[in-house]
Structure 1
Amino acid sequence: MKRRDLLAAVGGATAGALILPGAAKAATYSGYAMAYFTESPTMAGASYRVHLAVSGDGLNWTPLNQNAPVATPTLGSGGLRDPFILRKQTGGFVVIATDLNGTDWAYQSQYLHVWDSPDLRTFTGYRLLKVHSLATHAWAPEAVWDPARSQYAVVYSSVVGGRNVLMVSYTTDFVTATTGQVFFDPGYDAIDGNFVTVSGVNYMYYKNNTNSTLLGTRSSSFNPGSFSVYTGAITPGRGVEAPQIVKSNTAETWQMWGDTWSPNGRFFCWQSTNVAGGSWSLLNDRLYTQPLNSKHLGITPITAAEMSALTTRWGTPAWNRIKSYNYPDRYIRHANSVGRIDTYPFDPYQDQMWTLVPGLADSAGVSFRSVNYPDRYLRHSNYAIVLAANDGTSTFAGDATFHRVAGWADSSWTSFRSHNFPDRYLRHSGYVLRIDPITSSSAAAAKQDATFRVGY
């Protein structure tokens, strides 16, 4: 239910560049901004507002504003899903989103939430945009510039003839729009249109809502009814939705993100060097990290200056999450005061959030302070890792201090050496954390167990 704003007007422009009408030169992109809302398995992390994250490589993301919202809807349902960022032809951005607060699927809105933003640091002109007059919803809006019409095509899903189809309304200002018409109808329930233009050909990926798979279509124009399916079903082995194609800023490579439909799900990411061929390879979770509790992402490329300004304005998290190398869908957490790795997502989601403070026994090391129990730290006790309150002793300080070194399995990752048992390293065994001796002659599996990625 989202899309990348690689505008149709660019056609075969070089990677990382976008030429706007009247611009003296192309903007060079070196990063990305992501919009999303949040949910977690028990809905403890639900926030139906605009959240932002940034990334330098388009794969590993840093939530802004401590993963709190940056814009809040107050009209319509008072909540949103599926926020989408469009860089406008004239510069600046517009943010549009579904008018739906939570999971009240019976709620029917003919409107979209809209904000203007010059820089994604301020959001102004908040309003509702009416896109149709049907007794049905307008879900998962995306917008793309249609150069033949000199208008933006706003594509969303609504029920027509008893099933969801993709509809389109046209606008020049996101203040008023034409009455919706059918844009794409494959003959079954379809939602979540997502656009990218490559070498003058327009591609739209969408969700087959009858079996939760993704399919690709293409057309030489953006005319309603002109897109035809050219791929087989794309799936990670379970239900997926919300395709979002993102072009690398530095290579002829594309990533396509997908989201599982339930709060218990997570993002998946595929890669392709040939969008025209319709072939996508599913990436290992090791290669990417989504923002905490994020749902239904929308990504736009940004310049280095824009990314710097965003992090300055909103700040980066004061906490970290720590991913397992050989079980990259699992993160270090505490549960019943035991340190372990569990499959993301889970609740309480705060159990996986850690403040890495200077080591209690040696400031050159680190100690893992719990975010939701800030008087407690991870420590080893009889070599097992537990969460315990700091008793102020030198023994506790030593047990709770670790030194970051190059990862045993991958030097670009991290291993944590025990301060007071320097031949032992933090590792998981049966998903439970402990410290064990690791040497260059240790088995490859043990080295992988002792390797982690510190991120968000």
Structure 2
Amino acid sequence: MSRVLARVSALLAAVLLLSLPPAQLPRAEAAALDPFTGYLMAHFTGESANGEQIYLAHSRDGLTWRDLNNGGPVLLSTLGTRGVRDPSLVRSPAGDRYWIVATDLRIASGTSWSDAANRGSTSLVVWESRDLVNWSAPWLINVAGAIPGAGNAWAPEAIYNQATGDYVVYWATNSARNGVTKHRIWYVRTTDFRTFTTPQLYIERPGGQGIIDTQIVEVANSVGGYRYYRASADGHITIEASNSVLGSWTTLGNLSHLGISNGTGGGNVVEGPMWAQFNGRDEWALWLDQYATGRGYLPITSTNLGSVNNFRTRADYNMGASRKRHGSILNLTAAEESAVLGRWGASTPVNRIQSYTHQDRYVRHANFDVRIDPNVSPAQDAQFRVVPGLAGGAGYVSFESVNYPGYYLRHYAFDFVLAANDGSPVFAADATFRQVAGLGNAAWSSFQSYNYPDRYIRHYNYLLRLDPISDAQGRNDATYRLTS
């Protein structure tokens, strides 16, 4: 009888556990992560048509960076403003879940900075992953909606707070308070990045001085005397320290002695401070975006964060091919690094698409229209990466532009254009083709539409179209060869 009761009790306990929402499941003690071997940076690139999306870069040494995914965006926001900036990479304490939290903002759509700051989105965009490779669809969290007169929600960050067993999400909102309208840092707490507490004021500077772009780094062994350090853009780049995420903070100073400020102090005017610890040693880099001069990120480093006088500028770094704007850096274990590089690290060869009937002509984009031309200049207008199809399975391909990463050949009303991937199923289908034996010459190739399988890519009067093929001329015009 006692064994029956024991089994019933165990069964009831299991049912109760499974019935709890994921956020309420008992948290396993965070196991020590494997040694870190590399670094992953999430960032955006600027106000170009597809620049305000999620890009990734990788580094082995923390100073030399290589663009992943052939320099194209990895994640696209299809919500809110349909653009994201200032992404923050977050890892759970157990290392079994990851989030990206980003500003919902797309200046490239024509939004002015005044509108964005005063009448912009009060939501943040969030993605979730179990492996840093497969990411959920994005969702919005309206963190600033409860702040009276909130004009925006910018530059979010998140940090796990062991004192409370949840995450502190903090960001800048422009709003009126005590008769002064300016940016202040607010925070909410969350366990799942879906539900959150009422926003609370986190950091406010005196008078009319605003503050934005705050990022906190945790120093587990309290090098310099504190467990947490934060850098903020508030006219200067101010460095503060604390032993509690939500406790009181001590101001250590700023970087004016290095000729660096956020505008108030002149010199090299920067924003977007981004922390990273070097793997295997007590040394940290604080990356600063030299936005005023357009020179991109600059690292300053320290082996003791307890005094701003310990920072020094570095020249031995390389940011890779793209300009990297305000983001965050995650130290990677060997398993994480292998997964990330396996998905986005390979460099896809560059091809040209040669016409069979006019073999001196190649497919090229010109003002985002698509045609075949000889002697293409600049040469990159006729260069594409043949990547796995955005839709479909094996045998399907898509054509990504080399000089416009994230832009693909797609048909629109059966005409061809070069367009930015908007992440929609319609775009994916319109930009996907099955590579088959050439209709005009089996040693070449033809490209059959994924969503209109009775139609093929062909040129007509040198312009690319998607047509049904019914005669010998059509078969020849729908035949191409991929060349280097």
TM-score range relative to shorter protein: 0.5 to 0.7
Closer/same/farther in 2, CA of residues 191 and 44 from structure 1, 3 Å limit: closer
Deviations 1:189-225 (A, max 9, x none): 11111111223421111001x4xx311011121226x
Are the counterparts in 1 of residues 64 and 318 from structure 2 also a CA contact under 8 Å?
Answer: yes
Closer/same/farther in 2, CA of residues 291 and 217 from structure 1, 3 Å limit: farther
Separation of aligned partners in 2, 1:22 and 1:77: 38
Q: Does 1:305 align with 2:335?
A: yes
Report the residue type matching 1:152 in the other structure: Y
Q: Shift in Å at residue 21 of structure 1?
A: 4.9
Please list, as runs of the form range in 1=range in 2, the aligned pairs for 1:295-374 lying within 5 A after superposition: 295-317=325-347
Closer/same/farther in 2, CA of residues 282 and 149 from structure 1, 3 Å limit: same
Q: Shift in Å at residue 293 of structure 1?
A: 2.1
Are the counterparts in 2 of residues 63 and 317 from structure 1 also a CA contact under 8 Å?
Answer: no
Separation of aligned partners in 2, 1:141 and 1:23: 24
Q: Does 1:281 align with 2:286?
A: no
Separation of aligned partners in 1, 2:240 and 2:320: 26
Separation of aligned partners in 2, 1:50 and 1:194: 18
Deviations 1:149-181 (A, max 9, x none): 211110100124311111111111000111211
Say which of 172, 183, 202 aligns to 1:183: 202
Deviations 1:418-448 (A, max 9, x none): xxxxxxxxxxxxxxxxxxxxxxxxxxxxxxx
Q: Shift in Å at residue 54 of structure 1?
A: 1.1
Say which of 168, 180, 183 aligns to 1:164: 183
Report the residue type matching 2:186 in the other structure: M
Q: Does 1:149 align with 2:175?
A: no
The answer for the alignment partner of 2:61 in structure 1 is 57
Larger-gyration structure (1/2): 2
Report the residue type matching 1:181 in the other structure: Q
The answer for the alignment partner of 2:434 in structure 1 is none
The answer for the alignment partner of 2:477 in structure 1 is none
Q: Shift in Å at residue 287 of structure 1?
A: 2.7
The answer for the alignment partner of 2:142 in structure 1 is 130
Report the residue type matching 1:33 in the other structure: L
1:22 counterpart SS class: coil
Please list, as runs of the form range in 1=range in 2, the aligned pairs for 1:187-336 lying within 5 A after superposition: 187=206, 188-198=209-219, 199-200=221-222, 201-208=227-234, 210=235, 213-223=236-246, 226-234=248-256, 235-236=259-260, 237-261=267-291, 264-278=294-308, 279-284=310-315, 286-317=316-347
Closer/same/farther in 2, CA of residues 261 and 177 from structure 1, 3 Å limit: farther
Deviations 1:25-55 (A, max 9, x none): 432111111000112xxx5575111111111
Percent identity between the two aligned chains: 31
Are the counterparts in 1 of residues 30 and 93 from structure 2 also a CA contact under 8 Å?
Answer: no
Are the counterparts in 1 of residues 87 and 328 from structure 2 also a CA contact under 8 Å?
Answer: yes
Q: Shift in Å at residue 263 of structure 1?
A: 8.2
Q: Shift in Å at residue 96 of structure 1?
A: 0.4
Please list, as runs of the form range in 1=range in 2, the aligned pairs for 1:8-87 lying within 5 A after superposition: 21-39=28-46, 44=48, 46-87=50-91
Separation of aligned partners in 1, 2:90 and 2:321: 20
2:53 counterpart SS class: strand
1:124 counterpart SS class: coil
Q: Does 1:100 align with 2:105?
A: yes
Are the counterparts in 2 of residues 80 and 102 from structure 1 also a CA contact under 8 Å?
Answer: no
Are the counterparts in 2 of residues 81 and 102 from structure 1 also a CA contact under 8 Å?
Answer: no
1:140 counterpart SS class: strand
Are the counterparts in 2 of residues 31 and 249 from structure 1 also a CA contact under 8 Å?
Answer: yes
Report the residue type matching 1:265 in the other structure: R
Report the residue type matching 2:231 in the other structure: Y
Are the counterparts in 1 of residues 132 and 339 from structure 2 also a CA contact under 8 Å?
Answer: no
Report the TM-score, using the length of structure 1 for normalisation: 0.61
Deviations 1:393-422 (A, max 9, x none): xxxxxxxxxxxxxxxxxxxxxxxxxxxxxx
Are the counterparts in 2 of residues 45 and 293 from structure 1 also a CA contact under 8 Å?
Answer: no
Report the TM-score, using the length of structure 2 for normalisation: 0.58
- Structure 1 or 2: larger helix share? 2
Are the counterparts in 2 of residues 52 and 69 from structure 1 also a CA contact under 8 Å?
Answer: yes
Separation of aligned partners in 2, 1:220 and 1:176: 26
Closer/same/farther in 2, CA of residues 249 and 21 from structure 1, 3 Å limit: farther
Q: Shift in Å at residue 303 of structure 1?
A: 1.1
Question: Would you say how many aligned residue pairs link Structure 1 and Structure 2?
Answer: 303
Deviations 1:98-145 (A, max 9, x none): 010126321311110000011221111421012122331110000011
Closer/same/farther in 2, CA of residues 67 and 47 from structure 1, 3 Å limit: same
Are the counterparts in 2 of residues 153 and 168 from structure 1 also a CA contact under 8 Å?
Answer: yes
Report the residue type matching 1:31 in the other structure: G
Closer/same/farther in 2, CA of residues 241 and 297 from structure 1, 3 Å limit: same
1:306 counterpart SS class: helix
Closer/same/farther in 2, CA of residues 319 and 238 from structure 1, 3 Å limit: farther
Report the residue type matching 2:326 in the other structure: H
Runs of 5+ consecutive residues of structure 1 not aligned to the other structure: 1-19, 321-347, 356-370, 373-456
Closer/same/farther in 2, CA of residues 319 and 270 from structure 1, 3 Å limit: farther
